[in-house]
Amino acid sequence: MADFLGLMKQAAQMQSKMQELQAELDRTEVEGTSGGGLVTIKLTAKGDLRGVKIDDTLFKPGDKEILEDLLVAAHADARRKAEDVMQDKMKGITGGLSLPPGMKLPF
């Protein structure tokens, strides 16, 4: 019985560390550029899109903000769909078992 309690304590500690890591990844931001700096994208370390910047020389300046917002929205939509696919694939691996409430996979 002591081994089981020790294992449960280790699992709780690991879950706590995973939650801390998830929060850290949410706060960490990275930027990617293309076209010699004409396009810049900012993501969290978890892959959530935080912003898009497009140089005015690539299109009519009046359309810039609309295009930037559309890019952010399209990325969010694709990300949600990717998460759905990942959950479906995980169900196949785990035989349909779901994780306990509040517990998420690290990826």
Predicted local confidence at residue 93, as pLDDT:
64
Residue 31, token pair as written in the block: 């930027």
The number of folded domains in the chain is 1
Predicted local confidence at residue 41, as pLDDT:
85
Best CA proximity match to 71, nearest among 44, 42, 46, 45: 42
| Three-class DSSP category at 51 | strand
Best CA proximity match to 62, nearest among 54, 50, 73: 54
The DSSP 8-state label assigned to residue 96 in this structure reads T
- CATH number where 38 lies: 3.30.1310
In a domain, 28, yes or no: yes
In a domain, 41, yes or no: yes
In a domain, 104, yes or no: no
- Average pLDDT value for residue range 17-29: 82
Predicted local confidence at residue 99, as pLDDT:
57
